[in-house]
Copies of this chain bind each other. A is one copy, B any other.
Amino acid sequence: MERLKRVTQPTTLVTGEIPRVDQRNHAFARGMSGDLGPGTAREFRRFITKHPLGAALAGAAGRLASPVEGGIAGTKAPLPEDPTAVSRHIKQLAYFLRADIVGICRLPQYAVYSHDLAGNPVELDHEYAISLVVDQDYDTFRGSTGDDWISGSQSFMAYATSVLLACVMADYIRRLGYPARAHHVFDYQVLIVPLLLLAGIGEICRAGLVLNPFLGTRFKAAVVTTDLPLEPDGPVDFGLQQFCRVCRRCANGCRPGAISDGEQVMINGYEKWPFEADRCSKYRIGNQGGSSCGRCIKVCPWNKPAGRMHDLARGVVKHAPFLAGLLIRMDEALGYGKRDERYKWWLDLEDVDGVLTVPGDRTVASDRR
């Protein structure tokens, strides 16, 4: 990551004054509150915990989740004066804590929710945001369709790990005498996507997510905001915009049709592909053939392990973008994006009224890949 080319502006055009967002408008919040229908509100309470591993992971993440804030040491610790040295220290700490990727940016106010889920105004004026990224496991995606019974557990394995990371780092920074707050799946005051974009974790892809050149979108992130003096990273440009223009794998693979196969348009100050968040959330929450969904992650050609051939492909995307179409056809011919039964290690189980049963396949079989 440290060798990637940094640019002054994100590759997603951001124009004008970007309005702050009310957390109650987040599609998951709307699903929970009943805005997406009573069935979705009912399923919201069980779409992760209906699988026993998802339930165990969500329980552990919940026990870790607080405190996100706490007392700040009265005396500042003697730290290096150079913010670059402090940034390097914080990044090495993140890797020591087993983060897969870390990046730092300034915290713009448009990335702070205007109101929380309870409708209270959010005020957060920390100067920096540290984004902590945890992989959802490549091998598990190999064995999965992306929306079968392990998807919710993949999310919560990465969430639980990132909660541990963010809470430890925020606590550590407060002990150094600086304000710091952990933001994670159970308690966000910030929008993750713009922070990942500004910190150079990746570029915004067709599916509306931040795509990292080494992980694709196969990750979850938690954030620590702080006033500890840091040196921000810059956004990255590895040629993704041109790639996503040609590739429609996620749009074709999305069962509820939430991802556009058309062109980029201006939305809320960002030039990006339209994305139907309500459709996506309704499908993930209501999926009766599995727990949650990560099909767009699974089928994406950037969902790859480390390797020399994949380094080469990344180089081609960057330096010969006109070959993107060829790469995408090769990727398909090699069977990437398909399910490989040899990698299926989990059990298909569903909690129905307190009893674990083998779920019937309630989706159309021919629709499964």
Contact = CB atoms under 8 A, between A and B. Distances in A.
A330 interface: no
Contact of A56 (B53, B55, B172, B355): B172
B168 A74 contact: no
Interface string A330-369: 0000000000000001110100001111100000000000
A52 B167 CA distance: 13
B96 A60 contact: no
Interface string A44-83: 0000000011011101100110100000011101110000
Interface residues of A, number: 46
Contact of A92 (B171, B175, B345): B345
Interface string A130-160: 0000000100100000000000000001001
A129 to B, nearest CB: 19
A154 B9 CA distance: 38
Contact of A357 (B59, B74, B78, B358): B78
A63 B175 CA distance: 17
A292 to B, nearest CB: 16
Given A59-B168, A73-B355, 4 more contacts: A89-B346, A93-B345, A98-B157, A176-B356
**Nearest 3 A-B pairs (CB), nearest first?**
A92-B345, A52-B175, A56-B171
Interface of A: 52-53, 55-57, 59-60, 63-64, 66, 73-75, 77-79, 88-89, 92-93, 96-98, 137, 140, 157, 160-161, 164, 167-169, 171-172, 175-177, 345-347, 349, 354-358
